[in-house]
Amino acid sequence: MEYARLESALLRDVDDTYYFSAQCRQCGHGARLSLTRLRDHLGDGYPLVKVREKLRCERCGNRNVVITFLAPDQRTGNLVHLFDRSPRR
């Protein structure tokens, strides 16, 4: 099975079985995004890769966010390291 890719998918190509989240680079706040809600708000034909431009941290208002996008076949393992605020070694 071929899954949608962040670089080429439209919102119509994905659903909430994909893991799509954002983390603020300024305050570290992170949240999983509902692709269904994004589709309702932005429309089916909106490019997935451009969603980042529309995001703003709900805590501090910063627009500098990091996106995590995983296809259903990539949803294994522990993702906590993606939201760890301590520096990596």
CATH code for residues 11-73:
2.20.28
- State pLDDT tens for residues 25-48: 999 999 999 999 999 999 999 999
Measured in degrees and rounded to the nearest 5, phi and psi for residue 33 equal -100, 140
Report the distance separating Cα 84 and Cα 73, nearest Å: 23
Q: Domain limits of the chain?
A: 11-73
pTM above 0.85, yes or no: no
Alpha-carbon Rg of the chain, whole angstroms? 13
- State pLDDT tens for residues 51-85: 999 999 999 999 999 998 888 887 555 555 555 65
